[in-house]
Structure 1
């Protein structure tokens, strides 16, 4: 099949925010100067219409970890700094969060990170099978209204592609302060190919967990964190 005959990449609805408050001058500087060297090439449909699997030689043979929706980036940078033996990818479409992360990366001088500033489903399209050995989903958008629950990450449209790119035995961590999100995660994640290994509440997070600003906000507002650990079958 010639390149001109290839089907176009799948068009998807995206419901989350991509922009927030006006960026500070420092954040504009990070985006202008620091993003491009860290951005994974060949993820978007425009750059890779054939959806050819990514060349992961950038990992140098190290295990690959993925954080879906890294918020302000404190967890992602903490994990990169504490685990120089791995390479991490952070996927996040929210420009303000990307700018905050870039500032933290510059301050911490970590180098074992790559970024996808967009929809993680585009990344799933081009990650090789069984290439990811750990996944983090921290305080995802809860989409609290019942009619919006299908937009949550813990639905087959996200979980089945995630299962394809995760290796057998890979760890999948979920942190949330929304009880109904826990309910849906426990219902939807196992059928996608993951087994529940651990379910814990406030005060029993993972040993390497850095409390994030989202968690601190939840605690201030009287909501209890939940920590779920799954493994890929």
Structure 2
């Protein structure tokens, strides 16, 4: 059957429908195009989804990617300041070392000053006391201890709390009575006095008590110094010794 130049299609229930072949072909082409587009999009989607195989939670994956991005940005910022951070750390360390060294040097100077003060006090107490308490000075010398200390004080030193007398060679004076031992204060002082060119003018019982005798080994150019004070005798004896050396 034909209606308006178009074939008529009779359905099973007897209804007749005009079959528009061009429209049908056009519709089929449209549907085929749409199907092709859907298929291409589906294939592209499947290709993209393969990269996410094994990922069940897309939201968690998205958050993880965002975290990684932030970390990378942070690393880039840090990398750009590495030299600045290194320089700051180095300067801070150098400043700390310099401050510690300064404090240490100041403490060392303070301790050295205290040590010197204590050594001076120890020397004054030990050596000065030894001169004032000396039995040799009291029994054998005609001048007081402070004058003897002025003459021979620089020949004594204190080591490990012990007073040591030194000879002209700056070596310790050893005892004559105790072989191998350092001489005690009085023995060392006696040795110094024995080597003193003008000893006759500071020793007792050598004519300095007013006998008017002149001693060839004495000082003062043979002058009688018995009438002089102890201090004057020392001054005259020193002057005589200098005159002889000249």
For normalisation by structure 1, the TM-score amounts to 0.20
For normalisation by structure 2, the TM-score amounts to 0.19
Higher helix proportion (structure 1 or 2): 2
Larger RCO (CA within 8 A; separation ≥ 6) = 1
